[in-house]
């Protein structure tokens, strides 16, 4: 795990070493264990190292092959590197390290760009081929690791984070108004190759790209997944559950491969609880040195019981005997942290829930260097309650009347309060979109058949943004975060299951719930609410953060923005404070966008003019 960046001078001149040094410095938090630079003619490569596998100097990057014709920058982990290494040795390749980085080099030598299909892991890498004078760039299947790029000053620049690209004075000088407007109106980001910085792009998940002296070629998709649209099949529940648990257990096992300490994020929900229990079982059967004899878990808890999951966390801790660590995110601390949080995220974020995760990662930094997290299970297994509306709509449109009636009855019985609240929120959100003055693409997350909705959520409308938050929050504290539910084998298997293995009778995650019966406590296995690392955002925005928000709304900078009607926003916030309107995330998105504009544009402009 690390930070990578580079400059390919398309006109053949030598790279700017001062620029490379500045880019490297802006990624120092991603790699505090070392740095490396390599100039290869017109290309400069820089690396910040977070040593996880092969801690020796043999694992340093940029890394080359035997004849120095290939130079690699790699951020991520290839979890099946041991098996690939053995296979490549049998084919005659010689290794000088025990790192997964070197496996990529030899795999590229053996299979070319088809090597991507061989990897099981998370990655963003750039490989300079001196013979072909081209840069091969690739990002993992689900986009767990980031890769950004831009053209500036006659160069192709790339980096793990946008802030590193901004070291070039011509990069990302203005917001991308349409992408920013779409975020403000619909709360989505990372749903396309565009970012909220003008002319700064991201390599999308499951895409690769070749860059030559003529510039970057069109990125190409090397992997895709199909979500099964079938309502049900003849597959017995026990068979589906058994296969699911087997794949998940193996995915968790290889995600524990590490030469440094590994811990677990435990929210108290089904997904993180399942991982915690599986890891404890793996400790007993395989004794991975990375975990030790006692698993360490990291959780966020709150005094406000509406947002607190302590009783579920405590139940897992009691059942497993893990070494549990807790943090209590507080609004006063949030406002002290907000400047760094906005900076680390690079782009504005849709809710304050990510602050709980930020605090958990800060806590974990004191104990481990790697954490496992439950990201991805909801999008795969239909875990969000709003998916039930999509499912019922699918059933009605496909004339599955009986199944539709059962789902309606189950949803009303188990989640009637949620759907009533959701209906009111839709009205409130529509009103708040009228406060905006910006152009936006319409993103209706839950429209369409459930299989299409889940595919979009996995590849564009939800998971990419959550992975963005997780990567920046963890790397802000030099922590590597791993997500076993996004092992591509698990993704492909769950996607192949019929929809009735995901939602049935108003119950979500059917196959997973069946798989963990007798393994995870019934009080957790049968939970019907959905929280995760959340914060009391509404309470904070109404009480503790009120003076800060009012000061921001009254500022000249806020009132001068072209993206919203400042007077209407202020009035709307006042109505919320007075209890005349319900809270919705649009309020925070506007506040966060203002903080982001100040951090990345106002201060930059002031520095240039000064």
* Largest CA-CA distance found in the chain, in angstroms, rounded: 73
> What does the domain layout of the chain look like in residue ranges?
2-221, 237-385+450-535
At residue 173, the 3 state secondary structure works out as: coil
pLDDT over 70 at 123, yes or no: yes
Which residue's entry shows tokens 């003619």? Answer: 41
| pLDDT surpasses 80 at 605 | no
CATH number belonging to domain 237-385+450-535: 3.40.50.620
Torsion of CA 403, 490, 298, 358, to 10 degrees: -90
In this prediction, residue 1 carries a pLDDT of 66
Cα separations (Å) of 372 from 123, 432, 473? 16, 37, 14
Task: Give the CA distances from residue 485 to residues 59, 244, 369, 494, 529, in Å, rounded to whole numbers and listed in that order.
Answer: 27, 11, 20, 10, 20
pLDDT for residue 606: 67
Closest by CA position to 12, among listed 35, 53, 43, 38: 43
Question: What is the mean predicted confidence (pLDDT) over 45-63?
Answer: 94
pLDDT at 303: 86
pLDDT at position 72 over 90: yes
β partners of residue 125: 74, 138
Q: What confidence tens digit (pLDDT) does each residue in 577-601 have?
A: 999 999 999 999 999 999 999 999 9
DSSP 31: -
- Spell out the long-range contacts of 489-492 with Cβ–Cβ below 8 A and sequence spacing 24 or more: 489/120, 489/247, 489/250, 489/251, 490/244, 490/247, 490/248, 490/251, 490/380, 491/141, 491/142, 491/225, 491/376, 491/380, 491/458, 492/225
Query: For residues 236 and 355, what is the distance between their CA atoms, to the nearest angstrom?
Result: 41
Neighbours of 18 (CB within 10 A): 9
Among 56, 143, 63, 53, which residue's Cα sits nearest to residue 107? 63
Note the pLDDT of residue 532.
Answer: 58
Taking only the tens place, the pLDDT of each residue in 443-481 is 999 999 999 999 999 999 999 999 999 999 999 999 999
Enumerate the active-site residues.
Answer: 2
Mean pLDDT throughout 505-522? 97
**Residues 36, 58: contact at Cβ < 8 Å?**
no
- Burial (CB count within 10 angstroms: exposed 0-12, middle 13-18, buried 19+), residue 160: buried
Q: Is the dihedral of CA 23, 25, 31, 37 positive or negative?
A: positive
- What is the average pLDDT across 231-247? 93
* Number of CB atoms found within 10 A of residue 274's CB: 28
Give the model confidence (pLDDT) of 188-223 as tens digits: 999 999 999 999 999 999 999 999 999 999 999 999
Q: Report d(CA 252, CA 373) in Å as an integer.
A: 10
pLDDT at site 531 = 62
pLDDT of residue 603: 80
One fold for 2-221 and 237-385+450-535: no
Fold of 2-221: 3.60.20
pLDDT of residue 607: 64
Model pLDDT, residue 144: 98
Which letter does DSSP use for residue 219 in this model?
Answer: P
Which H/E stretch holds residue 126? strand 121-129
How far apart (Å, rounded) are the C-alpha atoms in residues 557 and 568?
A: 16
- Asked if pLDDT for residue 82 goes beyond 80, the answer is yes
Rounded-to-integer distance, Cα 179 and Cα 190, Å: 9
Share of the chain above pLDDT 70, in %: 98
Are 126 and 73 spatial neighbours (Cβ–Cβ below 8 Å)? yes
Confidence (pLDDT) at 533: 59
Phi, psi of 129 (to 5 degrees): -105, 105
**C-alpha to C-alpha distance for 371 and 361, rounded to whole angstroms:** 9
What is the percent of the chain where pLDDT is above 90? 92
Q: 473 or 528, which is more confident?
A: 473
Worst-scoring range by mean pLDDT, 243-252, 414-423, 554-563? 414-423
Read off the pLDDT of residues 268-279 as tens digits, 9 standing for 90 and up.
999 999 999 999
Task: Report the length, in residues, of the chain.
Answer: 610
Contact 123, 75 (CB under 8 A): yes
CA proximity to 191, closest of 531, 467, 377: 467
The rounded radius of gyration (Å) of the Cα atoms in the chain is 24
Q: What is the DSSP letter of 600?
A: I
Tell me the DSSP string of 456-484.
HIIIIISHHHHHHHHHHHHHTTT-EEE-G
Alpha-helix residue ranges (DSSP H) falling in 158-264 = 162-165, 177-186, 237-255
Determine the Cα–Cα distance for residues 573 and 549; give it in Å rounded to an integer. Answer: 9
Split at pLDDT 50, 70, 90, the class of 142 is very high
- Average pLDDT in the 65-75 region? 96
**Which of 419, 229, 346, 426 lies closest to 595, judged by CA?**
346
CA–CA separation, 556 vs 569, rounded Å? 14
Three-state SS annotation for 336-381: HHHHHHHHHHCCCCCCCHHHHHHHHHHHHCCCCCEEECCCCHHHHH
Q: What is the DSSP string of 523-570?
A: HHHT-----SS---HHHHHHTTTHHHHHHHHTSHHHHH-SSB-HHHHH
């Amino acid at each position: 795990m690390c930070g990578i960046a580079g400059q390919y001078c398309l006109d053949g001149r030598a790279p700017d070493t001062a620029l490379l040094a500045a880019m490297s410095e802006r990624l120092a938090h991603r790699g505090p264990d070392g740095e490396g630079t390599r100039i290869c003619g017109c290309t400069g490569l820089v690396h910040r190292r977070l040593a996880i596998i092969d801690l020796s100097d043999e694992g340093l990057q940029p890394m080359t092959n035997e004849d120095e014709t290939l130079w690699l920058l790699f951020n991520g982990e290839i979890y099946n590197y041991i098996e690939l290494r053995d296979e490549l040795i049998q084919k005659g390749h010689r290794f000088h390290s025990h790192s997964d980085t070197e496996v990529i080099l030899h795999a590229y030598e053996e299979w070319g760009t088809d090597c991507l299909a061989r990897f099981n892991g998370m990655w963003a890498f750039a490989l300079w081929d001196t013979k072909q004078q081209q840069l091969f760039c690739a990002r993992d299947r689900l986009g767990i690791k980031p890769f950004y790029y831009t053209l500036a000053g006659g160069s192709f620049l790339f980096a793990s984070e946008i802030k590193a690209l901004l070291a070039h004075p011509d990069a990302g000088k203005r917001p991308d108004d349409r992408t920013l407007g779409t975020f403000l109106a619909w709360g989505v980001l990372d749903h396309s190759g565009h970012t909220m910085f003008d002319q700064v792009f991201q390599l999308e998940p499951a895409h690769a790209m070749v860059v030559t002296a003529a510039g970057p070629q069109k990125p190409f998709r090397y992997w895709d997944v199909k979500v099964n649209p079938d309502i049900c099949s003849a597959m017995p529940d026990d068979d589906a559950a058994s296969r699911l648990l087997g794949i998940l257990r193996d995915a968790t096992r290889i995600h524990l491969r590490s030469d440094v300490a590994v811990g677990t994020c435990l929210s108290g929900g089904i997904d993180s609880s399942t991982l915690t229990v599986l890891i404890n079982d793996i400790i007993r059967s395989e004794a991975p040195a990375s975990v030790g004899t006692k698993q360490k878990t990291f959780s966020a808890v709150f005094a406000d019981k509406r947002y607190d999951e302590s009783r579920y966390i405590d139940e897992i801790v009691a059942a497993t005997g893990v070494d549990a660590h807790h943090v209590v995110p507080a609004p006063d601390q949030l406002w002290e942290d907000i400047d760094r949080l906005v900076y680390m995220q690079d782009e504005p974020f849709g809710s304050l829930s990510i602050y709980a995760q930020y605090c958990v990662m800060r806590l974990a930094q004191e104990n481990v260097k790697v954490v496992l997290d439950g990201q991805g299970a909801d999008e795969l297994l239909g875990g969000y309650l709003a998916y039930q509306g999509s499912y019922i709509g699918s059933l009605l449109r496909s004339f599955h009347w009986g199944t539709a009636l059962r789902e309606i009855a189950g949803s009303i019985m188990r989640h009637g309060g949620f759907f009533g609240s959701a209906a009111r929120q839709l009205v409130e959100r529509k009103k708040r979109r009228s406060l905006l003055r910006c152009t936006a693409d319409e993103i209706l997350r839950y429209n369409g058949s459930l299989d299409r909705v889940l595919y979009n959520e996995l590849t564009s409308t939800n998971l990419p943004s959550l992975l963005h938050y997780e990567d920046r929050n963890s790397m802000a504290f030099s922590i590597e975060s791993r997500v076993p539910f996004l092992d591509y084998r698990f993704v492909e298997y769950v996607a192949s299951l019929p929809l009735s293995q995901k939602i049935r009778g108003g119950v979500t995650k059917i196959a997973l719930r069946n798989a963990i019966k007798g393994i995870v406590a019934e009080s957790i296995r049968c939970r019907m609410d959905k929280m995760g690392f959340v914060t009391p955002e509404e309470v904070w925005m109404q009480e503790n953060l009120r003076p800060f928000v009012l000061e921001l709304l009254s500022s000249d900078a806020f009132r001068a923005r072209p993206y919203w009607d400042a007077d209407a926003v202020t009035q709307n916030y006042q109505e919320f404070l007075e209890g005349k309107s319900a809270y919705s995330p649009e309020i925070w998105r506007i506040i966060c966008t203002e903080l982001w504009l100040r951090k990345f544009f106002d201060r930059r402009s002031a520095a240039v003019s000064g």
